[in-house]
């Protein structure tokens, strides 16, 4: 939050068609959640799956919201509570529609160079890398966390200061045609697809159909924009067809393929970092990444492709990548103090799919363990895999063996298939839920171990991470934060 107004009364009313009632306050941000609302935020009382935001308007205004956006006709419910912007609309949720209109106004008023990122795996990490890299070269606005859906994208647009030099937007989907309206709102100058993998396959007839859905991002490109595609992906030609059918003026490819425009000639993987020798549109670049993992190195090529497409400084971008840190739940490492030594915790608990679990297992394999240390994987169910779910889980046994994972703990009925496919020597404990697995994982650790925790969001593998930190984290501040975190 800053003291500079993000939206004036006149701009709010003009963009939304609404009318502001009550004494105006300075609007410096935007929010849909009173738990994270900051003074000056414009609070949108949207209807969620379980609750109506109008029930929290008084709370928002009491916490210093710049104003609350409510459906026309309900403004009298909040007389005396603070400024209220009443918005018309025949939509099921006129407040969400107003947020979309304000997002469109934000996009129209800025001269920022806009990047949109999607992909089955790595879109949040790539978005965060772009945020870090571009922030070193100018005022950069980017999506918070994984705000990439029908409310996250317009909310992120609404929060964008007009004076931004760069904007980075993550766009997600789990059904066909979801990306189309979001890409149309963002209207990127550059659009990047990290990769296409069998994620959300439950909602698609094939991997090609997922590629088609991801390819929708190019439909929103501004005329003459740049489409960036992973040249190594088996669906490259399908993605290329989408890019060529769009208004893109240029298609740029990245990967290890000999014909890639941004090509990795050599990737050196180390336990805590990676080094990449690459050529970017014919320019030789060598850079270090502050995060380990081949998948991170590959996504960094996409980052460099975006930097070049924007005309930003490649050398400065390379320096920025050295300081790259993983987003929460996506590879963060914590040292744990175990009686007699230390163990390394790798938090990959944010989400999971077959490709990301294989990548995380490969990264775990590269971590140095102590003299008697083991590599321990704690895995929760992967969701939205449809009829092939059992097979996708069972087939992870090959990756467990290939990466030398010594012990595997599983949570959920689907991961039970993996557990049963493993030799007894590689089995830890299998439980119905992550909560049931906590004590078993806490009790198994010993000095020198490296343990990685990963699973789909709803399996709540993060509770295992918090339990490990609360009991063993070497940093007292991390222990305190874990103790106060919600289970």
The DSSP secondary structure of 321-380, one letter per residue, reads HTT--PPTTSSEEEEEEETTEEEEEEEETT---HHHHHHHHHHHHTS---TT--EEEEEE
Identify the pLDDT of residue 432: 97
Where in the chain are all domains bearing CATH 3.40.1390.10? Answer: 9-98
Please determine, for residue 213, whether its predicted confidence score (pLDDT) is greater than 60: yes
Share of the chain above pLDDT 70, in %: 97
Least confident of 30-44, 390-404, 420-434, 471-485: 471-485
- Find tokens 């404990």 and name the residue: 429
Identify the pLDDT of residue 484: 55
Please determine, for residue 276, whether its predicted confidence score (pLDDT) is greater than 60: yes
End-to-end CA distance of the chain: 29
Beta strand 332-338 with 226-230: parallel, antiparallel or unpaired? unpaired
Please give the average per-residue pLDDT across 17-35, as a whole number: 95
Please give the average per-residue pLDDT across 184-208, as a whole number: 89
Please determine, for residue 28, whether its predicted confidence score (pLDDT) is greater than 90: yes
Identify the pLDDT of residue 362: 94
The predicted model scores a pTM of: 0.85
Please determine, for residue 122, whether its predicted confidence score (pLDDT) is greater than 70: yes
pLDDT in tens, 69-101: 999 999 999 999 999 999 998 778 999 999 999
Per the prediction, the chain carries an average pLDDT of 93
Identify the pLDDT of residue 308: 98
Confidence grade of residue 3 (pLDDT, cut at 50, 70, 90): low
pLDDT in tens, 292-335: 889 999 999 999 999 999 999 999 999 999 998 887 788 889 99
Identify the pLDDT of residue 1: 44
For residues 167 and 115, is the Cβ–Cβ distance under 8 A?
yes
Q: What is the DSSP letter of 170?
A: E
pLDDT in tens, 255-264: 999 999 999 9
Identify the pLDDT of residue 476: 64
Where in the chain are all domains bearing CATH 3.40.1190.10? Answer: 110-321
- Residue 356 CA to its chain's centroid (Å): 13
pLDDT in tens, 419-451: 999 999 999 999 999 999 999 999 999 999 999
Helix (H, G, I), strand (E, B) or coil at 440: helix
Identify the pLDDT of residue 204: 81
CATH 3.40.50.970 applies to domain 332-484: no
Where in the chain are all domains bearing CATH 3.90.190.20? Answer: 332-484
Confidence grade of residue 272 (pLDDT, cut at 50, 70, 90): confident
CATH 3.40.640.10 applies to domain 110-321: no
Identify the pLDDT of residue 486: 44
Q: What is the DSSP letter of 221?
A: P
For domain 9-98, the CATH superfamily is MurE/MurF, N-terminal domain (3.40.1390.10)
Identify the pLDDT of residue 481: 62
Please give the average per-residue pLDDT across 13-28, as a whole number: 95
For the chain, state the CA radius of gyration.
23
Identify the pLDDT of residue 478: 66
CA dihedral of residues 228, 157, 223, 119 (deg, nearest 10): 20
Please give the average per-residue pLDDT across 170-178, as a whole number: 92
């Amino acid at each position: 939050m800053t003291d500079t107004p993000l939206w004036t009364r006149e701009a709010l009313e003009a963009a939304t068609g609404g009318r502001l009632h009550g004494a105006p306050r300075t609007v410096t941000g935007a929010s849909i959640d009173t738990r994270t609302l900051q003074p000056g935020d414009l609070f949108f009382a949207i209807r969620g799956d379980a609750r109506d935001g109008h029930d929290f308007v008084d709370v928002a205004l009491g916490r210093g919201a710049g104003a609350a956006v409510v459906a026309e006709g309900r403004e009298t419910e909040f007389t005396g509570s603070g400024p209220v912007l009443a918005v018309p609309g025949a939509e099921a949720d006129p407040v969400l529609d107003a947020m979309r209109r304000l997002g469109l106004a934000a996009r129209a008023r800025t001269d920022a160079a806009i990047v949109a990122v999607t992909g089955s795996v790595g879109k949040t990490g790539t978005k965060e890398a772009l945020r870090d890299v571009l922030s070193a070269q100018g005022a950069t606005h980017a999506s918070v966390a994984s705000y990439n859906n029908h409310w996250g994208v317009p909310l992120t647009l609404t929060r964008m200061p007009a004076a931004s030099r760069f904007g980075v937007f993550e766009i997600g989907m789990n059904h066909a045609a979801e990306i189309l309206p979001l890409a149309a709102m963002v209207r990127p100058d550059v659009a990047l697809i990290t990769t296409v993998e069998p994620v959300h396959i439950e909602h698609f007839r094939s991997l090609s159909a997922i590629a088609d859905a991801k390819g929708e991002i190019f439909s929103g490109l501004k005329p003459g924009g740049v489409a960036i595609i992973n040249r190594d992906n088996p669906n490259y030609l399908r993605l290329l067809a989408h890019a060529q059918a769009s208004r893109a003026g240029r298609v740029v490819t990245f990967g290890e393929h000999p014909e890639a425009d941004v090509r990795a000639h050599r990737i050196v993987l180390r336990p805590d970092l990676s080094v990449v020798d690459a050529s970017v549109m014919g320019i030789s670049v060598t850079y270090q990444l502050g995060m380990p993992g081949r998948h991170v190195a590959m996504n960094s090529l996409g980052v460099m492709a975006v930097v070049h497409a924007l005309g930003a400084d490649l050398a400065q971008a390379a320096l920025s990548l050295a300081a790259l840190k993983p987003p929460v739940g996506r590879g963060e490492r914590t040292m744990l103090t175990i009686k007699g030594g230390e163990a390394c915790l790798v938090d990959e608990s944010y989400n999971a799919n077959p490709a990301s679990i294989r990548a995380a297992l490969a990264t775990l394999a590269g971590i140095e363990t102590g003299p008697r240390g083991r590599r321990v994987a704690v895995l929760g169910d992967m969701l939205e895999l449809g009829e092939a779910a059992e097979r996708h889980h069972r087939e992870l046994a090959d990756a467990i063996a290939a990466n030398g994972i010594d012990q595997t703990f599983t949570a959920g009925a689907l991961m039970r298939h993996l557990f049963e496919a493993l030799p007894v020597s590689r089995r830890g404990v299998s439980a119905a839920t992550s909560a049931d697995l906590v004590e078993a994982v806490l009790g198994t650790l010993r000095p020198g171990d490296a343990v990685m925790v990963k699973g789909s969001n709803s399996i709540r593998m993060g509770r295992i991470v918090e339990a490990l930190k609360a009991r063993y984290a070497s940093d007292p501040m991390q222990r305190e934060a874990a103790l106060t975190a919600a289970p």
